[in-house]
Structure 1
Amino acid sequence: MENSKQKSVPVLPWMRSPIDVSLFEECPLNLLPCLDPRLEEALLKMGVSSLFPVQVAVWQETIGPGAFERDLCINSPTGSGKTLAYALPIVQMLSARTVKCLRALVVLPTRDLALQVKEVFSAIAPAVGLSVGLAVGQTSIADEISQLIKRPKLEAGICYDPEEIRVEFQTNVDILVATPGRLMDHINTTKGFTLEHLSYLVVDETDRLLREAYQSWLPTVLQLTCSNEDGLFPSARTVTPTLGSLQTIRRNGVERGFKDKTYPRVVKMILSATLTQDPSKLAQLDLHHPLLLTTGPRRYQLPEKLKSYKLICESKLKPLYLVALLQELKGEKCIVFTSSVESTHRLSTLLNAFGDLQLQIKEYSGLQRQSVRSKTLNAFRNGEVQVLVSSDAMTRGMDVEGVMNVINYDMPAYIKTYIHRAGRTARAGKTGCCFTFLRKHEVKRFKKLLQKADNNSCPLHCLPSESIESLRPFYSSALGKLKECIESEKSKHHRTISKSSRAGKVSGVNNQKQ
């Protein structure tokens, strides 16, 4: 009866017959058909000697006689290699282009993810003469424009009539990795920035990008690229390559045609470890005969070599249990997830007040500036920090080598969140553990949550009672230090607000006098 009352979700016809990625095997680079030798060399320098199943499957559907005939939807577990799965075929396909203009756009929901994806492209694209740009708001928009757009130099000593001169801007990159907000900034305000020649659009972490509007970036991009397919070009506001090159592109095209159109269809690739099945959301993407690639029959998949454990304790004892667990893990690289940025800050402060744990523990959350997060993440990657206390800013797509353990300090509310958190470990075929702290009343709900991923194996992890008891004196002291720290931060915050308020009043009085 209970199942019959559940709301059924309609499944689109093309999602009913997917390609099963798990049927593919790893393939050594020297056996991969059609791979450009320059890209093979670049991959070997990255330490990549073979491709994972999802990468082989995507390569098969994108390279060769039927290359990119259909849009691709890739639903594969975290850590399975989705970034290289799309980066490699796109770079290979663009390697034959002779005119520099923006051909591939990769959109991601966060700066950190965009930086990570840009690194992958930058490791292989230069090998075939392609350049990669970044538009994420990490630097000023002026700095980004100088990297993305090339402005021709005018000859010195010649007087030009301002009314007759036409300055032509030229795109400086072949591939752009961007976040939605900064992408819209360039579309709306940057002279010379155009999607007129776009061939590939990648929407990574699709479910999150579809769930959040981000200034209507998707309809805007699709509208601009649809104009290309129909033979309609943007207004003269966006002037791209030199006139001779532009005429050649418009007359002859630079890629294979599609349905007798001079310009090809813009190929879309959408990816997620928890790809939505909602028809109304997928309809926003305007997919062309989409092909679904997924791992096995299940919608939600955990990494193959992940081991899940639960720890049951009272709320007030959770910090004690966490410290005992971290001591038991003996300095292994761990990410501790909390339910909010506020909880992340408090827990990180508490752990650092816990006496000599002989662990470097840092906070990572959306409350911090990008520069601080980047510095923390680099320290974590380099092993200078062993424990990262994080909000869900780290859950999606972030790849940090050597993370042995994920700890859910707060139980995730949804299976998608659990999958993305757990996916920070057991990546690329390696082993890893995910520990989840539960209160007694959460145990049944957590079991139901895991069953959505067909995971019925989550044994209880017990900590020695003596290790808990030995920490109690330190816990009392740490709580006192936490209280002092929070009060100090509040006081500092109030002083800052008061100072700003006084400055505003003085400014207002001076304006009135003027």
Structure 2
Amino acid sequence: MEEQKLRSVPVLPWMRSPVDFSLFEECPLDLLPFLDSRLKVPLHNMGISSLFPVQVAVWQETIGPGDFERDLCINSPTGSGKTLAYALPIVQKLSTRAVKCLRALVVLPTRDLAIQVKEVFAAIAPAVGLSVGLAVGQSSIADEISELIKRPKLEAGICYDPEDFSLELQSSVDILVATPGRLMDHINSTKGFTLEHLCYLVVDETDRLLREAYQSWLPTVLRLTRSSDESFYPCASNYLPPAFNSLKTIRRFGVERGFKGKPSPRLMKMVLSATLTQDPSKLAQLDLHHPLFLTTGKRRYQLPEKLESYKLVCESKLKPMYLVALLQNIGEEKSIVFTSSVESTHRLCTLLNFFGDLQIKIKEYSGLQRQSVRSKTLKAFREGEIQVLVSSDAMTRGMDVEGVRNVINYDIPAYIKTYVHRAGRTARAGQSGRCFTLLREDEVRRLKKMLQKADNKCCPAYSIPSSSIESLHVIYTSALEKLKETVELETSRKRKIGFKSSRERKGNKTNHSKE
């Protein structure tokens, strides 16, 4: 039945014969061909001594014999090292040309993920004289502009025509990591901001970025780069190494005759996701050039190799107590609890913190919070000051927090795609991890069918002793009462703020009418 469903989905011809990067072996940095020696120190400082299979495969297709002849579509499990897979070759490529202009753009769907990716680039780029910028709306647009655009130096005593300044404006960064909305802000209103020299475009978390329009950022970027000066694009023959014998070559041949080894005046693209879409109409938006598909195995949905999945069956009204008992069993291990919405996240976190002295520090992480609050919470979680994050799906995509041992689905995800991204917060980079899902009896079959899509047929029940649940009844009743009072207080406060804002708006209208 599953095979019939898979056959009914149209698959693009180039996706039918992918490069299986699971056939590659890890490669120590000292044996990686053509790696710029200046990059070894920052990589070692990051704790990286060898590249993972997906990183080796991408290196071969960009720095090795592939030499970016084709755009790359990468479907790789969470925690497999996708960020460094594209960051390292892009930094190495750009380091060969001493030109200060914006030549690489990385687009991501959320601020937190963009900040994380920027940190990876910033760790290695300065070693080869490159600078990295961030455009995510974390600070004011004026502050971002001052970081991204270099202003001309003005000599004292000389009168200047303000219109001439725009001719002197130039990029202060070689690489920009951005979210779509803020990227469009700069395209539309920032003087001196241009994509005319862009060589590389990375679309990370592609399926999400293609699903939402984000002010038509993609067609805008493609339109602006099509009219680029071709002289800025690297020629394949200039960079193609004489040999690439140190790596095992597992490539798909058959590039169109007349294309190989010739200059490539085009925007070179890499698109990546743990759940890459196969929808031809969505992929067509990317305008890919002879795309090469890199994936692992035959399944579209891949869970981390060392992930253990468990189900925890309970009644809905008892679910908070089962969660508390589970957290007590887990102890101080770093864990993320996922809910179905930002509202549920807030209420669940508030409730858990009314459960007396759990000896566990629990914090909320959701889209309801300001960016500064989220960043502070994430930092504390990374440093071990917080043991448990209760999160909405704002945390599911790509976020990398070292040492997360457990993921808990308080609410069962609606789709296997969401399960894959949630579970991928643990068992990263070859480490082991566990994913628990709290279920009603009537949801067990649904979880089983969902996991079959990821070829996971083993999801044993996790047992919580009934005595553990019974011991929590009294404190749970008290916690519910406190939660009710808190929610009523918050609702009342919001109404007052809303009423005040309404009166201010009316007052402003009255003042305007008098003027």
Bucket of the pairwise TM-score, normalised by the shorter protein = over 0.9
Distance 2:347 2:288 in 1: 44
SS of structure 1 residue aligned to 2:34 = coil
Q: TM-score, normalised by structure 2?
A: 0.93
- Alpha-carbon distance between aligned partners in 2 of 1:163 and 1:358, rounded to the nearest angstrom: 63
Q: CA deviation at 1:507?
A: 2.6
Query: In structure 1, the residue corresponding to 2:197 is in which secondary structure?
Result: coil
Deviations 1:337-394 (A, max 9, x none): 0001111011000000111111110011111111111111111111111010000000
Whether 1:340 and 2:378 are equivalent positions in the alignment is no
One-letter amino acid of the structure 2 residue matched with residue 202 of structure 1: V
Cα distance change, pair 470–20 in 1 and its aligned pair in 2 (3 A): same
User: Shift of residue 264 of structure 1?
Assistant: 2.4
Q: Does the Cα contact within 8 Å between 1:348 and 1:389 map onto a contact in 2?
A: yes
- Superimposed CA distance per residue, residues 282-322 of structure 1 (whole angstroms, 9 cap, x where no aligned partner): 00001011111101111110000000000000000000000
Q: CA deviation at 1:157?
A: 1.4
Given candidates 223, 232, 235, the residue that maps to 1:256 is: 235
SS of structure 2 residue aligned to 1:501 = helix
Q: Shift of residue 3 of structure 1?
A: 7.5
Asked whether the equivalents of residues 335 and 406 of structure 1 are also in contact (C-alpha less than 8 Å), the reply is yes
Deviation at 1:170, TM superposition (A): 1.1
Tell me the number of residue pairs that the alignment of Structure 1 and Structure 2 aligns.
Answer: 493
Partner residue, 2:43: 43
**In the alignment, what sits opposite 1:288?**
289
2:32 aligned residue: 32
Name the amino acid aligned to 1:317.
L
Quote the residue 1:136 is aligned against: 136
Equivalent positions of 1:196-345 (< 5 A) are: 196-228=196-228, 253=232, 255-256=234-235, 264-345=265-346
| TM-fit CA distance, 1:90 | 0.3
2:439 pairs with 1:460? no
Aligned residue in 2 for 1:240: none
- Contact preservation (8 Å) 1:97, 1:254: no
For 2:495 and 2:162, the matched residues in 1 are separated by: 53
What is the correspondence of 1:488-507 to structure 2 with a 5 Å cutoff? 488-507=489-508
1:387 partner amino acid: V
Amino acid of the structure 1 residue aligned with 2:158: I
Q: Structure 1's 173 and 261: CA in aligned 2 closer, same or farther, altered over 3 A?
A: farther
Q: How does 1:8-87 map to 2 (within 5 A)?
A: 8-87=8-87
Q: Does 1:435 align with 2:436?
A: yes
Percent of residue pairs identical: 77
| Unaligned 5+ runs, structure 1 | 232-249
Distance 2:310 2:90 in 1: 39
Aligned AA for 1:388?
Answer: L
Greater mean alpha carbon deviation, residues 452-461 or residues 157-166 = 157-166
Q: How many Å apart are 1:159 and its aligned residue?
A: 3.0
Q: Deviations over 1:208-261 (max 9, x none)?
A: 0000000000000011111126x5xxxxxxxxxxxxxxxxxx5xx462179799
Which residue identity lines up with residue 155 of structure 2 in the other structure?
A: E
Contact in 2 for aligned 1:257/1:264 (Cα 8 Å): no
Per the alignment, in what secondary structure is the counterpart of residue 400 of structure 1?
coil
Aligned AA (2:146): S
Give SS of 1:201's match: strand
C-alpha separation in 2, matches of 1:27 and 1:436:
36
Given that 2:69 and 2:236 are in contact with CA atoms closer than 8 Å, whether structure 1 keeps it comes out as: no
Contact 1:62 1:89 in 2 (8 A): yes
Q: Secondary structure at the match of 1:436?
A: strand
Q: CA deviation at 1:6?
A: 8.5
- The residue type paired with residue 473 of structure 1 is V
1:510 to partner: Cα distance = 2.9
> What do the CA deviations read for 1:69-116 (whole angstroms, capped 9, x no partner)?
000011010000000000000000111111100010000000000000
Q: Partners in 2 of 1:420 and 1:47 — Cα distance?
A: 24
Q: Which amino acid in 2 is paired with 1:186?
A: H
Whether 2:165 is the aligned partner of 1:186: answer no
User: How many Å apart are 1:17 and its aligned residue?
Assistant: 0.6
Give the distance between the partners of 2:18 and 2:4, measured in 1 at CA.
Answer: 26
For 2:164 and 2:423, how far apart are their aligned partners in 1?
61
Secondary structure at the counterpart of residue 481 of structure 2:
helix
In the TM superposition, 1:382-401 aligns within 5 A as 382-401=383-402
Q: Distance in 1 between matches of 2:514 and 2:339?
A: 51
Q: CA deviation at 1:160?
A: 3.7
Distance across 1 between alignment mates of 2:359 and 2:298: 45
**Alpha-carbon separation, structure 2, partners of 1:465 and 1:165:** 73
Q: Do the aligned residues in 1 keep the contact of 2:21 with 2:296 (CA within 8 Å)?
A: yes
Q: 1:267 to 1:430 in 2, by over 3 A?
A: same
RMSD: 1.9
1:425/1:164 Cα in 2 relative to 1: closer, same or farther (>3 Å)?
A: closer
Shift of 1:168: 1.3
Determine the structure 2 residue equivalent to 1:151: 151
Superposed displacement of residue 502, structure 1? 2.0
Determine if contact 1:313/1:437 at 8 Å carries over to the other structure: yes
- How far, CA to CA, are the matches of 1:22 and 1:263 in structure 2? 29
Distance of 1:96 and 1:317 partners within structure 2: 61
SS at match of 2:228: helix
What is residue 403 of structure 1 aligned with on the other side? 404
Query: Secondary structure of the residue that 1:457 maps to in structure 2?
Result: coil
SS in 1 for 2:434: strand
Which residue matches 1:176?
176
Q: Which amino acid is 2:210 matched to?
A: L
Say if 1:58 and 1:86, in contact at 8 Å, map to a contact too: yes
Return the letter of the residue paired with 1:284: Q
Decide whether the 8 Å contact of 1:206 with 1:271 is kept in 2. Answer: yes
- Report the 3-state secondary structure (helix = DSSP H, G, I; strand = E; otherwise coil) of the residue aligned with 2:386: coil
Report the alpha carbon displacement of residue 414 of structure 1 after superposing the two structures with TM: 0.4
Q: Is the 8 A contact 1:273 1:300 kept in 2?
A: yes
Which 10-residue stretch deviates more, 319-328 or 493-502?
Answer: 493-502
Look up the equivalent residue of 2:234 and give its one-letter code: E
Alpha-carbon distance between aligned partners in 2 of 1:66 and 1:144, rounded to the nearest angstrom: 36
Q: Which amino acid is the alignment partner of residue 255 of structure 1?
A: P
User: Is it true that 1:105 corresponds to 2:105 in the alignment?
Assistant: yes
**TM-aligned CA deviation for residue 162 of structure 1:** 5.8
Structure 2 SS opposite 1:228: coil
Tell me the alpha carbon deviations over residues 249-277 of structure 1, each in whole angstroms, 9 at most, x when there is no partner: x5xx4621797998721110000000000
Give the Cα separation in 1 of the matches to 2:233 and 2:292. Answer: 25
CA displacement at 1:165 relative to structure 2 = 7.2
2-side partners of 1:447 and 1:484: how far apart?
38
Distance 1:11 1:163, change over 3 A: closer
